[in-house]
């Protein structure tokens, strides 16, 4: 159905008004509060929708407005015609649904601006800032007490950086965005801020801890690079919840390839509304520590063996191992996903023994 042009009557549809009073004032939920919209009769609803979109409020939808930040709320207006709107930020309404008395509040500098190339690049990487203080405290307290430095990946606005500074440990903050890097330098002069991509960051050549809210778009890439990096003693990472569960549960090829040297534990979940912008999925906190079930010198050969077993043909693990190595093995689980880290180390020693 084509949109209604200015001056044309919109088809009669009964739609629900959210937080509307007798004067037909709608309150559209926003990232920084609620936006009050005062209609003036004389034009079509579609023109009003375009006006809202150009002001940066909500994305236009033919059947209403869907708020993608806090909650999915469909806001529609009754059979009114619009020729203009006065848009100003307002505090959130009371729980009863009745708008609170008018009170102007200062708008955030990022409230109504259009998306820039910087915003698009941030969304492509899947970077979402933490805004919940309890979550940042959970992350910082997950680190074991130590005097070693802490490397924070993707420091962003510095919500987690502030908690790390309170630990009294040296902090190295890595941030790609130049504006946020300058903000971190000014806000935390005691923190060593590194401006650059975390995927190319050179980790210290001494014992240290790693912590960070990883951009969801590069979680796997950054995790693989971190596991191949020496010297760090522990890592606390905030990633997608499904990824966190897979890493802590085991069973995947990536887990099996790194299981003899690293232990993955799921510490908890982080709701999506603790981030801004709100991601499409919840987050999970993963704690990674080192262990040594096999010599590090055998890592390359061991990982090649695990990859070959996962990709080999065979109904059972024993058949796959026989097809790969030509050796018979006994008392092994039915499938590769059922093997424990200790079981993989034992199986590798068994097939590589002369």
Residue pLDDT, tens place only, 262-272:
999 999 999 99
* 155 plus 244 within the same structural domain: yes
110 occurs within a structural domain:
no
15: DSSP letter: -
What's the total number of domains in the chain? 3
292 occurs within a structural domain:
no
3-state secondary structure of 126: coil
Residue 109 confidence (pLDDT) = 40
Average pLDDT of the residues in 229-237: 96
User: Each residue of 315-325: pLDDT tens digit?
Assistant: 999 999 999 99
In this structure, what are the phi and psi dihedrals at residue 241, rounded to the nearest 5 degrees?
-65, -40
Average pLDDT of the residues in 109-117: 48
| pLDDT band for position 121 (cuts 50, 70, 90) | low
113 occurs within a structural domain:
no
CB 39 within 8 A of CB 20: no
262 occurs within a structural domain:
yes
3-state secondary structure of 106: coil
Q: Beta strands 232-240 and 208-213: pairing type? A: parallel
Tell me how far CA of residue 253 lies from CA of 86, 245, 344, in angstroms.
56, 14, 11
Element (H, E) at 299: helix 299-311
* 224 plus 311 within the same structural domain: no
CB 181 within 8 A of CB 193: yes
The residue among 30, 49, 54 whose CA lies nearest residue 39 is 49
* 348 plus 275 within the same structural domain: no
* 278 plus 132 within the same structural domain: yes
CA–CA separation, 49 vs 234, rounded Å?
Answer: 50
* 217 plus 348 within the same structural domain: no
Q: At 299, list the tokens.
A: 């890592």
* 64 plus 83 within the same structural domain: yes
More confidently predicted of 231 and 77: 231
* 25 plus 163 within the same structural domain: no
- pLDDT exceeds 90 at position 348: yes
Average pLDDT of the residues in 284-313: 94
231 occurs within a structural domain:
yes
| pLDDT band for position 354 (cuts 50, 70, 90) | low
Boundaries of domain holding 36: 1-93
| pLDDT band for position 330 (cuts 50, 70, 90) | confident
Q: Of 49, 73, 93, which one is at a domain's C-terminal end?
A: 93
3-state secondary structure of 212: strand
Q: Of 50, 78, 93, which one is at a domain's C-terminal end?
A: 93
* 283 plus 309 within the same structural domain: no
Q: At 332, list the tokens.
A: 């092994």
252 occurs within a structural domain:
yes
Task: Find tokens 């005691």 and name the residue.
Answer: 190
CB 298 within 8 A of CB 353: no
* 204 plus 279 within the same structural domain: yes
303 occurs within a structural domain:
yes
**Percent of the chain surpassing pLDDT 90:** 54
345-352 CB contacts, 8 Å cutoff, 24+ apart: 345/259, 345/260, 345/293, 345/294, 347/321, 348/260, 348/294, 348/298, 348/302, 348/305, 349/294, 351/305, 351/321, 351/325, 351/327, 352/301, 352/305
User: Each residue of 160-219: pLDDT tens digit?
Assistant: 999 999 999 999 999 999 999 999 999 999 999 999 999 999 999 999 999 999 998 899
213 is in an annotated binding site: yes
* 273 plus 337 within the same structural domain: no
CA–CA separation, 313 vs 72, rounded Å?
Answer: 46
Greatest extent of the chain over all pairs of C-alpha atoms, in Å: 88
Q: Of 238, 261, 287, which one is at a domain's C-terminal end?
A: 287
- At residue 24's C-alpha, the angle toward residues 19 and 30, to 5°, is 40
**Mean pLDDT, the chain, as a whole number?**
76
* 84 plus 151 within the same structural domain: no
Q: DSSP string spanning 132-171?
A: -HHHHHHHHHTSPS-SS-EEEE--TTSHHHHHHHHTTS-E
Q: DSSP string spanning 244-292?
A: HHHHHH--SHHHHHHTTTEEEEEEEEE-GGGEESPPSS-EEEEEEEE--
CA–CA separation, 58 vs 126, rounded Å?
Answer: 20
297 is in an annotated binding site: no
| pLDDT band for position 64 (cuts 50, 70, 90) | very low
Residue 209 confidence (pLDDT) = 98
* 129 plus 232 within the same structural domain: yes
51 occurs within a structural domain:
yes
């Amino acid at each position: 159905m084509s949109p209604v042009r200015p001056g044309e009557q919109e088809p009669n549809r009964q739609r629900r008004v959210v937080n509307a009073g007798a004067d037909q004032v709608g309150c559209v939920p926003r990232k920084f509060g609620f936006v009050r919209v005062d209609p003036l009769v004389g034009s079509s609803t579609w023109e009003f929708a375009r006006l809202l979109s150009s002001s940066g409020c909500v994305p236009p939808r033919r059947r209403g407005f869907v708020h993608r930040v806090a909650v999915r709320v469909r806001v529609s207006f009754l059979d009114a015609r619009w020729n203009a709107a006065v848009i100003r930020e307002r505090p959130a309404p009371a729980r009863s649904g009745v708008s609170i008395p008018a009170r102007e509040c200062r708008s955030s500098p990022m409230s109504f601006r259009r998306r820039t190339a910087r915003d698009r690049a941030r969304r492509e990487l899947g970077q979402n800032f933490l805004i919940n203080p309890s979550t940042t405290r959970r992350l910082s307290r997950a680190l074991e007490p130590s005097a070693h430095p802490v490397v924070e990946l993707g420091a962003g606005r510095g919500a987690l950086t502030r908690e790390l500074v309170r630990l009294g440990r040296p902090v190295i903050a890595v941030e790609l965005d130049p504006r946020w890097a300058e903000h971190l330098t000014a806000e935390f002069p005691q923190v060593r801020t590194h401006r650059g991509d975390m995927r190319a960051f050179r980790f210290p050549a001494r014992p240290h801890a790693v912590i960070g809210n990883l951009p969801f778009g590069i979680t796997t890439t950054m995790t693989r690079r971190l596991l191949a990096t020496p010297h760090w003693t522990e890592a606390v990472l905030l990633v997608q919840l499904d990824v966190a569960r897979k890493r802590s549960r085991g069973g995947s090829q990536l887990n099996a390839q790194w299981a003899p040297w690293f232990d993955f534990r799921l510490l908890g979940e982080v709701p999506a509304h603790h981030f801004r912008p709100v991601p499409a999925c919840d987050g999970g906190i993963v704690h990674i520590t080192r262990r040594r079930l096999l010599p590090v010198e055998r890592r390359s050969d061991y990982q090649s063996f695990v990859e070959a077993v996962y990709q080999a043909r065979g109904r059972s693990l024993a058949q796959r191992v026989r097809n790969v190595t030509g050796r018979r093995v006994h008392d092994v689980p039915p499938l590769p996903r059922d093997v424990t880290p200790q079981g993989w180390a034992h199986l590798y020693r068994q097939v590589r023994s002369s």
